[in-house]
Structure 1
Amino acid sequence: MPYVASDHSKKYDPEALRQRIPGWGADSDPADRPSHPREKLRDPEDTGAHWTFPARQEPVGKRERSVEHTAMPPVFGTAQPLHGVSGAIRRFAYDRYSEGQTAHWLLLVVGDRVDAISSHVKSLASRRPDDPITESGVLSEAGHHPLSSRFGQGRADVRHIWLDPIIVAGPWVLAGVIAVRTVAKIVRR
């Protein structure tokens, strides 16, 4: 027999349903709810938590704080103070935009990218620059079944394999092109 939609206009007797279906109507009478004793109204201030407000940490210098908060939390991190252009971008995000605005988060992401780029540039100027080939693990895959471990195993990262070389090597190639063009301009002068 094919499926036929039931007639929802039909009225049922609540007592008959309660007799036939265990737990039916639990939301109609608070006394029928299994969790009802826990739902008794209490004093909202009586949470059961007993603590005293901790002493506030003294801020050294200006700290970033979202515009919707009136005060800093009692304890906050100071290990990575904001610095440079990325710090200025992040300070602007905290000073100008609320955490509920997209611009706040986009500026924080931009600040992070600027910090990453400046770290790469500093690395290139150091005695031991970053090595994206060995640090990405590309060389280690050759000896550990690179094809059979990726395909046919249901791995989610197979969809973006084609993007990996662009993401890893792209910034380095771009930096190389810029460096070569800059040197070429200097030599021509």
Structure 2
Amino acid sequence: MPYRAEKPGTRPSSEELRARIPGWGADLDPKDRPAVPRERFDPGASGAHWDFPERQPEKWPRERSIEHQQLTPAFGTSAPPKLLSGAMRKYAYRRFSEGRAAHWLILLAADRVDAWESHLRSFASLRPDNPVTESGVFGEIGSKAFSSRFGRNRADVKHQWLDPVIVAGPWLLAGGAAAVVALRVLAKSRK
């Protein structure tokens, strides 16, 4: 039925619906519904032994939406906000409602910044990130590499030429930028 500006016709009665649709209204009589005892509001029958659970302690000020006055009783603590990405997350929660696109876009950008912060932190460790092995590119090389890639209507074949650019491109750009900075520092130190 197409949408029209005028109000639709009268609503059919229960008897008309029952005559037109087989089985309509089968659950109108409470005696025919097995879930009726559970539909009654009886707070004493829930079995809950508390009114509100005890709250998890906040070890640092947590991000909370501006729509809510308090945190939920339990919350995650595995990834505390840190550095620039943490500041971005705190800003998104402090400034924008969860119904605004800006809130979520800032959180997405903070995730990307957090990934780069982790990459940079890995250079300070004894085991820096290896983008080639972590991308899974060696999983594509091996037995049946060509036959599994072509002739199977795989959707990723259309953009596979972009994969090396996306994986290695940022690393090459960062290495090039570091080389330019090093060359400029050397040139200034020779003067």
TM over 0.5: yes
> Are the structure 2 counterparts of residues 144 and 22 from structure 1 closer, same or farther at C-alpha, using a change threshold of 3 Å?
same
Match of 1:34 among 26, 40, 60: 26
Residues 123-175 of structure 1, C-alpha deviations (whole Å, 9 max, x = no match) = 22333211111222222322132221122223333333233212211211111
Partner of 2:156: 157
Question: Shift of the alpha carbon at 1:79?
Answer: 2.1
Where 1:144 maps in the other structure, the secondary structure is coil
Q: 1:17 to 1:112 in 2, by over 3 A?
A: closer
Q: 1:44 to 1:70 in 2, by over 3 A?
A: farther
Task: State the one-letter code of the partner of 2:168.
Answer: A
**Equivalent position of 1:130 in the other structure:** 129
Residue 147 (structure 1) aligned with residue 146 (structure 2): yes
Question: 1:17: how far off?
Answer: 10
Instruction: Number of aligned residue pairs: give it.
Output: 167
> Where does residue 171 of structure 1 map in the other structure?
170
5+ unaligned residues in a row in structure 2: which ranges? Answer: 1-14
Q: Which amino acid aligns with 2:87?
A: A
TM-score, with structure 2 as normaliser = 0.74
Instruction: Kindly provide the CA deviation profile for residues 19-58 of structure 1, in whole angstroms up to 9, marking residues without a partner as x.
Output: 7x7628x3xxxxxx23434598x66676x74422211112
The equivalent of 2:109 in structure 1 is 110
Cα deviation, residue 93, structure 1: 0.5
1:87 aligns with 2:86: yes
Structure 1 stretch 159-168 or stretch 85-94: which is displaced more?
159-168
Q: How far apart are the structure 1 equivalents of 2:135 and 2:17?
A: 63
Q: Kindly provide the CA deviation profile for residues 62-100 of structure 1, in whole angstroms up to 9, marking residues without a partner as x.
A: 111000011111111222211111100000001111111
Matched residues in 2 for 1:149 and 1:45: separation? Answer: 60
Aligned residues with identical type, % of pairs: 48
Moved more, 92-101 or 153-162: 153-162
TM-score calculated relative to the size of structure 1? 0.75
| CA 148–74 in structure 1, closer or farther in 2 if over 3 Å, else same | same
Following the alignment from structure 2 to structure 1, what is the Cα–Cα distance between the partners of residues 75 and 66?
Answer: 16
Aligned CA distance change for structure 1 residues 177 and 44 (closer, same or farther; 3 Å): farther
Misfit runs of 4+, over 4 Å: 15-19, 37-40, 42-46
- Local SS of the residue matching 1:169: helix
- CA–CA distance in structure 1, aligned partners of residues 98 and 18 of structure 2: 49
User: Relative to structure 2, which stretch is displaced further, 140-149 or 152-161?
Assistant: 152-161
Please, what is the CA RMSD of the aligned residues?
2.9
Amino acid at match of 1:34: A
